[in-house]
Structure 1
Amino acid sequence: MKFRIKHECRGRIRVEIVQPRMTLEQADCLEAWLQALPDVSRAIVHERTRCAIIEYEGDRQALLESLKGFSYQTQASGELSPVHSSRALNRTYEEKLVGKAVFKAVRSLFFPASLRAAYAVVKAIPYLFRAVRCLLRGHLRVEVLDGISIGLSILRRDFDTAGSVMFLLSLGELLEEWTHKKSVDDLARSMSLNIDRVWLKTEDGEVLVPLHQIQTGDRVAIRMGGMVPLDGLLVEGEVMVNQASLTGESSPVPKRPGSSVYAGTVVEEGECVLQVTQQSGQGRYDKIVAMIEQSEQLKAAAENRASHLADRLVPYTLAGSGLVYLLTRNTTRALSVLMVDFSCALKLSMPLAVLSAMGEASRFHVTVKGGKYLEAVAQADTIIFDKTGTLTHASPMVAQVISFSGRDEGEMLRLAACLEEHFPHSMANAVVQAARDRGLAHEEMHSQVEYLVAHGISSTVDGQRVIIGSAHFVFEDESCVIPPEERNVFDSLPGEFSHLYLAVGGVLAAVICISDPLRAEAADAVAALRKLGVSKIVMLTGDSERTAAAIAAQVGADEYRSEVLPEDKAHFVQAEREQGRTVVMIGDGINDSPALSAANVGVAISDGAAIAREIADITIAADDLFELVKLRALSAALMGRIHSNYRFVIGFNGSLIVLGALGVLAPATSAMLHNLSTLGVSLRNMTNLLPSKT
């Protein structure tokens, strides 16, 4: 690719792509490719100017060499292009907005009065029709006020006032529609799949392959806790599937051979094989969009209050206008009051504020599934953390492998990785990565793998039962034994690590020591949450009392619970809620999903188990716990903005009504100020709540 460097400073460069024009698809492709580069922290491509702004942390020359080698035609870059992009949506509404403003200016400057009047009458018909329809249905809503004010202006032959009112109303509707669609689009894409590889069933067994290689008709294996990567037909196994992200239903649904399963749903129980019927993610995206747009239950209570208040105020506005006419017999004063209503600003500004906040959250790598969850986060007084993968580092490492009975350490690690690679969890990923780092190939050599939530994994290798998991699972549930001659080795296991126990044939074969260091920012993030009004911080973990106490002290938690099972976490959350607390639960594993469901708001770590992300109301990236601080600050700022909207709308429009009734403001002026204030509030609600570097 040819390009020119237009401007650069340390860590940032702007280049102009040398080509006649850039299509929307090419801009999306280039932007996705740039963002996938390891040293690029942020990239934006502007298709109109054919410029790319790149923020990077690595070597400048290496970046430029990579950019030189880019091609739109390469398969790799094509695979990176998003299935859905907001670029085309933004272009459409930008053109509509500019076109509407230009046409308004042309009408005002060049149309004769008679033509402006005819245009106003024609454009008024839909508004009058909507007003009549509301009245026939017995509803007094903002459409009635709009229709009456526009109709009276036309009857008074004040066509310019009628035209201005309709222009401002249509402008507000366009901005609301644009923001709503953009926010829904951003939310749907952020909820899209993040699956790189899947288990393909072949004649020789299961093979781990990249997702893009899967073709229609291929068979894919999915185990408990795994996300369904593609739409398909169940051909083997019986499972319980969580479909909340598509249907909104909270209870898992049974699926048997012959049933359809959909991309993005999660297998809660059992394991299965599906036959792929649809390759792309378009079906899932469209279903998510439909679910978001139809789901009234995800609205914030503040939105619903604003909508109901707006409708309740319409009769008072009509009564006020009638009263002014009866007292003054002045049509102009009555019309000045009628031109002003509270409904328009309240109904328009509140949804825009919430949707804009959800979009802003996505820029902080936070995905929010509904406005009511932001409101709940703002009101939360209790935050409960799972320890592993949440307060501790998201990528634990294998620190040591201690083998028993003379077994080879490398062989034991290879065997452990063979079982663990089927189940995505931070500790399982650590085992698989350790085997990969040591060059230990762990090809499939076991029979069916069974996963027991919060306990461990079992399988059969060379006719012997092999299990890996917690001490409770291995020694109590499975009654495995420790080689008597090595009891002293077992008793002296290093206490600073978490332990995974591997047993073969009922005898302990190895202990894998996992280093799970505390996140560097954990204590500071907890302190920042306290400053933002969170009064109680709790840590829950399945680890031992000693480990739990040490971690809780380091992060500054008020309480902690050790050696807890998934149901214990859920019971603790429920008990807190029964005491009247608003609870946020943060976790990343399959064993956290009951607690995530029980909380007022469930927050999942994005690289945790698929079922945790599915059940959670909010998902944050795994990079930095300060995303929680930003989420809390954003939620609080949203509620502050909503309350300020109430104060401004009621105060400003109340003043306009008084001035109109006194004859100080003409109807056209009242209409202009009212609609401009509504537009101003709406535009303000589309701005960021937090500084970009907060």
Structure 2
Amino acid sequence: MKFQIVHESSGRMRIHCAQKRMRLEQADLLEAYLQQTGGVRQAVVHERTCCAVIHYQCAREELLQRISRFAYDAEGVAELAPLHSSRALNRTYEEKLVGRIAFKAVRSLFFPAPLRIAYTLWKSIPYLFRGVRCLLRGKLRVELLDGLSIGISMVRRDFATAGSVMFLLELGELLEEWTHKKSVDDLARCMSLNIDRVWLKTPSGEVLVPLNQVKTGDRIAVRMGGLIPLDSTIEEGEVMVNQASLTGESIPVPKRPGTAVYAGTVVEEGECILRVTQQSGESRYDKIVAMIEQSEKLKSAAENKASNLADKLVPYTLVGSGLAYLLTRNVTRALSVLMVDFSCALKLAMPLAVLSAMREASTYHVTVKGGKYLEAVAKADTIVFDKTGTLTYACPVVAGVIPFGGHSEEEMLRLAACLEEHFPHSMANAVVQAARDRGLSHEEMHSQVEYLVAHGIASTVGTERVVIGSAHFVFEDEACTIPDGEQERFDTLPEQYSHLYLAIGGQLAAVICISDPLRTEAEAVINALRRLGIQKTVMLTGDSERTAAAIAAQVGVDEYHSEVLPEDKARFVEAERAQGHTVIMLGDGINDSPALSAADVGIAISDGAAIAREIADITIAADDLFELVSLRMIASSLLRRIQSNYRFVIGFNGALIALGTAGALSPAASAMLHNLSTLGVSLRSMTNLLD
């Protein structure tokens, strides 16, 4: 691709593509290409100007070469296109907004008076109809005030005021609809499936293939903790499926051969072979959009309070208007009061503030599934961390393999990788990666794998039972023993590492030493959270006391608990809540799921286990824990903005009512100031909280 560098500074470059016009699809392709380019931190493409702004940390010449190699029709580029893009949505609403403002200006400047009056009468019909409908149903809502104010203005032949009121109401509705759809779209895309490969059943065995290669009728394997990638029917196996993301059911549903399962649900227990009934496409996205729009999770306490207060204030506005007329016998003063109500701003600004905060959080790689969770994050005083993959890096590495019982190091690593590759946990990934790095390929050589949450994995190779997992699982639950004459060697295992124990036939065969380094930002993040009001930080881990103590000392948590089981984590969270604390739980694995559910806010690492992401209320990217700090700041700023909005709406509109009663404002001025204030507070609610 040919391009020109328009502006450049350290780590940032703005380029202009050598093309006269850029289609929306081309902008999406270029942006996706740049974002997946190594060394690029962020890339934004502006299709109207054919420009791209790139923030990078790689070598400048390397970046320029990669951009120059880009072509819209190059092999593999088309696959980068997102299934859903917000560009078309934004373009549609931008054009609607500009069109309505331009049409308003044309009407005011060029339409003759009779035509303007006729247009106003025609536009008023829906508002008058909604007002009459409220009245007939005996409901005093904001629609009644809108209808009364517009109707009375037209009865008084003040068509300019009626037209201005309707224009501002229409503009506010358009902005609310745009923001809501954009926020829902952003959330849905963040929550959409993040699966790129699946296990395809073939005559020669299971093969790991890209998701887009799977076709209707293919058979795929999904095991416990795995996300079902496509709409399918179960062909083999019985499983318990968590369908909360689609149906809201809190209890897993049993699924047997012949029953249907849906993309995005999670296999909570068991494993199965699925027959694909629908290829990768838009069904999952559409279901998520419907779920978000219908879910009560979107309703925060602030939104419910605003909605209820708005409806409660409508009768008072009507009474105030009536009193103004009775006291002054002046229709103009009564109409000035009627033109002002608290409902518009309260009902419009609060949901916009919450949805905009959720949208802003997504720019920091944080997906919030409902407004009420932002409020809980702002009020939280306790945060509980899982250790592995959360406070430590999500990709621990194998530091060494110590064989026992005469086994070879390579064969033990090969066997461990064969067992661990089926389960999406960071330590399992480390074992699989170590085998891959050493070129240790393997075929499936074991029978059905049994995964015991927070303990380990058990299977059978030949006639012997093979187990891999924690010391508690291997030596206590499975009663495995150390080979004769090797106790001293076992007692001198390196203490700086976590250990995975592999036993064959009831006897220890190898110890895999796992180095799980602490995240470089972990200590700074915990200190930052304390400065933002978090009073208690806790680390829970299934690791040994020795490992837990070392990590806790490095990261600086207030307390830690080692060798805990999933139910222990959940009980700890419940106990903290029982003492009156508002608790955030942060985890990444299947074993964190009970605690994530028990917390006021469950936060999952986005590349952790699928079930943890589905159960969690919020997900964050795995790149940087400072996203937690940004989340806390956004949530706290949101509450301050909501309180500020309340004060402004009540104070400003109260002043307008007082001025209208005193005769200092005409009805037209009252309506204009009221609607402009509503529009202003709504636009302010749409702005970023952290800028």
For residues 442 and 33 of structure 1, the distance between their equivalents in structure 2, rounded to whole angstroms, comes to 34
Matched, 1:589 2:589: yes
Instruction: Tell me the residue number matched to 1:131.
Output: 131
Counterpart residue type for residue 384 of structure 1 = V
CA distance in 2, matches of 1:402, 1:81: 46
Q: Aligned pair 1:163/2:199, yes or no?
A: no
Distance of 1:315 and 1:297 partners within structure 2: 29
- Deviation per residue, 1:306-325 (Å, 9 max, x gap): 00000000000000001001
- 1:186 alignment partner AA: D
Q: How does 1:290-329 map to 2 (within 5 A)?
A: 290-329=290-329
Question: Which residue number corresponds to residue 450 of structure 2?
Answer: 450
Contact 1:220–1:276 (Cα < 8 Å) also in 2: yes
Where structure 2 has 5 or more consecutive residues not aligned to the other structure, the ranges are none
Q: Which amino acid aligns with 1:243?
A: Q
Give the CA deviation at 1:71.
2.2
Q: CA deviation at 1:496?
A: 1.2
Partners in 2 of 1:191 and 1:635 — Cα distance? 20
Contact persistence 2:245–2:264 (CA under 8 A): yes
Contact kept, 8 Å, 2:588 with 2:605, in 1: the verdict is yes
Does structure 2 conserve the Cα–Cα contact (< 8 Å) formed by 1:14 and 1:51? yes
Task: Tell me by how many angstroms 1:610 deviates.
Answer: 0.9
Q: Provide Cα deviations, 1:191-247, integer angstroms capped at 9, x if missing partner.
A: 011112111111111111121211111111000011111111111111111112212
Deviation readout 1:330-355 (Å, 9 max, x if unpaired): 11111111110000000000000000
The separation in 1 between residues aligned to 2:178 and 2:213, in whole angstroms, is 36
Offset, 1:451: 1.0
Cα shift at 1:463: 3.2
Superposition map of 1:9-48 within 5 A = 9-48=9-48
Deviations 1:179-201 (A, max 9, x none): 00000000000001111211111
Letter of the 1:462 partner, please give it: G
CA distance in 2, matches of 1:123, 1:421: 64
Deviation at 1:60, TM superposition (A): 2.1
Do the aligned partners of 2:34 and 2:43 also contact (CA within 8 Å) in 1? yes
Which residue is equivalent to 1:523? 523
Number of aligned residue pairs = 691
Report the more deviating stretch, 57-66 or 559-568.
57-66
SS for the counterpart of 2:439 is coil
Identical-residue share of aligned pairs (%): 77
> What amino acid is aligned across from residue 366 of structure 2 in structure 1?
V
Shift of 1:103: 0.3
Q: Work out whether 1:380 is the aligned partner of 2:380.
A: yes
What's 1:153 paired with? 153
Unaligned runs of 5+ in 1: none
- What residue in structure 1 maps to residue 605 of structure 2? 605
Question: How big is the shift at 1:41?
Answer: 0.9
Map 1:463-478; keep pairs closer than 5 Å.
Answer: 463-478=463-478
How far residue 21 of structure 1 moved from its aligned partner, in angstroms, is 2.1
Partner of 1:635: 635
Moved more, 33-42 or 350-359: 33-42
Q: Given the alignment of the two structures, is residue 397 of structure 1 paired with residue 400 of structure 2, yes or no?
A: no
Please state how far the C-alpha of 1:296 moved relative to its aligned partner.
2.1
1:682 aligns with: 682
Mapping for residues 494-505 of structure 1, pairs under 5 Å = 494-505=494-505
**Corresponding residue number in structure 2 for 1:96:** 96
Match of 1:338 in 2: 338
Deviation at 1:532, TM superposition (A): 0.9
Matched position secondary structure for 2:326: helix
The Cα RMSD (Å) is 1.1
What TM-score does the superposition give when structure 1 sets the normalisation length?
Answer: 0.98
Q: Which amino acid aligns with 1:388?
A: T
1:108 aligns with 2:102: no
Which range is displaced more, 63-72 or 675-684?
Answer: 63-72
1:207 maps to what in 2?
A: 207
Tell me which amino acid in the other structure corresponds to 1:657: I
Indicate whether 1:185 and 2:185 are aligned. Answer: yes
Q: 2:256 — aligned with what?
A: 256
CA-CA distance at 1:17 after TM superposition = 2.0
Distance 2:269 2:321 in 1: 63
Residue 266 (structure 2) aligns with: 266
Q: 1:472-496 CA distances to partner (integer Å, 9 max, x unpaired)? A: 1111111211101111111111111
SS of the residue aligned with 1:454? coil
Q: Does 1:512 align with 2:512?
A: yes
Give, in whole Å, the separation in 1 of the partners of 2:355 and 2:169.
20
Q: What is the CA deviation profile of residues 275-314 of structure 1, one whole-angstrom value per residue up to 9, with x for unaligned ones?
A: 1112224111000100110112431101100000000000
Q: Contact (CA 8 Å) 1:263, 1:281: kept in 2 or not? A: no
Residue 578 of structure 1 is matched in structure 2 by: 578
Give per-residue Cα distances to partners, 1:500-530, cap 9 Å, x unaligned: 0111122111000101121111111111111
CA contact (8 A) 1:16 1:50 kept: yes
Deviation at 1:75, TM superposition (A): 4.3
In 2, the alpha carbon distance for the partners of 1:75 and 1:192 equals: 25
Secondary structure at the counterpart of residue 560 of structure 2 = strand
1:426 is matched with 426
Q: Deviations over 1:371-400 (max 9, x none)?
A: 000000111111111111111122111111
Distance in structure 1 (CA, Å) of the matches to 2:308 and 2:77: 49
Equivalent in the alignment of 2:662: 662
- The letter for the 1-side match of 2:170 is S
Aligned residues of 2:28 and 2:85 also touching (Cα < 8 A): yes
Query: How many angstroms apart in 1 are the aligned matches of 2:45 and 2:363?
Result: 16
Q: Which residue of 2 aligns with 1:621?
A: 621
SS at match of 2:534: coil
Task: Kindly provide the amino acid, as one letter, of the partner of residue 162 in structure 1.
Answer: A
Q: Does 1:548 align with 2:548?
A: yes
Q: CA–CA distance in 2 between the matches of 1:267 and 1:571?
A: 24
SS at match of 2:83: coil
Whole-angstrom distance in 2 between the partners of 1:571 and 1:42: 41
